[in-house]
Amino acid sequence: MTATTVNAGPRMDRLPLAGFHRRVLWLIGAGMFFDSFDIYLAGGVLGALLHSGYSDMAMNATFISMTFVGMIIGSFAAGFLGDRFGRRFNFRFNLALFGLASLGAALSPSMQWLVAWRLIMGIGLAAEIVVGYATLTEFVPPDHRGRWGALLSLITNSALFASTLLGYIIIPTLGWRWMFGLVFAGSMIAWYFQRLLPESPRWLESVGRMDEAERSLKAIETEVTAQTGPLPPFVAAPPPAKRAQVRVWALFGKSVIRRTLVAMLMNVVMNCVIYGFVAWVPSFLVKQGLSVAASLGYTTFMSLGGPVGAFLGFLLSDRLGRKRGIVIVSLVAAALGVGYAYAPAVWVATVIGFALFTCIYILVALIIAVYVPELFPTEYRLRGTGVCTTVGRVSSVIVPYVVVALYASGGVGFVLALLVGMLLLQALVVGVAGVETNLRSLEILAPDVTAADDGSVAALRH
């Protein structure tokens, strides 16, 4: 007879950190690294294409927009497929998809073909992000969830510096095609090793596959016990109430809608900041008269803010808390955006740009890697994350054309004015309507077991 519950949440949460958790982190992180590498190589590649006359600003905008058309499809589909077929299957499928499409991009005979392959890449790239962060969330105990989510963001966003540095070395010498070739090779290696990634016991339990969840939990507990000694006891959870099939409209129900809207806004802001500024920096510098090599050199220094920001997110996430951290860093980033717009020299802008990149990637660690997946219960965690990510991707399709129009009207200052305003709006909305999730079990955070969503400890108890 199949058990009605296996207590996946309490049993996973009482585990001490061990080699098992590190293996899961690195298996997910390998795929996420090449996902991020593929996204960020666009800046250097587009700058080179623009300089050589292979492309122009309008075609570059189309390239970026087609990336996010694919990402809209991928992030929306990943939410449903991840909750339906499991975390592991979807993660590996999406890694293979964007890896093989990268090979197609490397062999593209024209800009039109490159744009078409980028559309397919975008599907896999977005889906990988949705599945990766949410999957790690389900494996790590609450006392460490923030730091480990930020650590995955550090691995992921270190690709910003790696992609920029390799672009600086490779693009002027070997050409832009080799950048896509690197993604193909790396992603296929990561795909091979990800056969070792276990399925989430929380997900198995949530879909009623209790025997599989029990086997997975016993294997994990046996491995961790061998590494750390006897496990502490856990408090058994009551059997879950029988649920009707959860539909996407649950995200807009009374107990969830505030979280959904806050998560949507944060995704819009972060997509606009990253892909309305970070991805355009090499093109901005080329348009200001710098050579491709010089623009990539300045951007390489700024891009160090990616791993630095993710590392600071690792240090701050569980100490500051998600809500307070997002508000504070959004305000600092807005101030730096103003400073960048009024920088009197390129070297000053580069230093301020480094600090701005750092703040942006602290926010990525806090919001995308940690906070948004925590807001939704296991039954529809990927759908919630996927739908909110999709809304952010929609804004990413529009923002390149907005950037071109603003740049033509008033240069980088006009572009930054929009982004500063969005960061200030994010700080306000999260400060007023955000829920604090720090150091709390995913099961306790589920909206249907809370008395209120005010973030207080009392409100998050039965």
pLDDT of residue 5: 81
End-to-end Cα spacing for the chain: 29
Q: Residue 381: what pLDDT?
A: 92
CA distance 244 to 408: 53
Spatial neighbors of 165 by CB under 8 A, at least 6 apart, are: 300, 303
Listed as ranges, residues in the chain with pLDDT below 50 are 1, 449-462
Q: Which CATH architecture has domain 8-231+249-460?
A: Up-down Bundle (1.20)
For 330-387, write each residue's pLDDT tens digit: 999 999 988 887 877 777 878 888 999 999 999 999 999 999 999 999 889 999 999 9
The residue among 388, 400, 332 whose CA lies nearest residue 361 is: 332
- pLDDT for residue 346: 76
Say what the pLDDT of residue 1 is: 40
- pLDDT confidence of residue 450: 43
User: What pLDDT does 23 receive?
Assistant: 96
d(CA 323, CA 303): 25
For 154-177, write each residue's pLDDT tens digit.
998 788 778 888 988 999 899 899
pLDDT of residue 460: 31
Q: Which two tokens mark 427?
A: 């700080």
Asked if 119 contacts 72 with a C-beta cutoff of 8 angstroms, the reply is no
The conformational region for residue 246 under phi > 0 = left, psi -120 to 50 = alpha, else beta, is beta
Span 309-337, pLDDT tens digits: 989 999 998 888 899 999 999 999 999 98
One-letter identity of residue 355: A
> What's the CA gap between 24 and 40, in Å, rounded?
24
CA distances to 154, 316, 328, 329 from 363, in Å:
12, 11, 10, 7
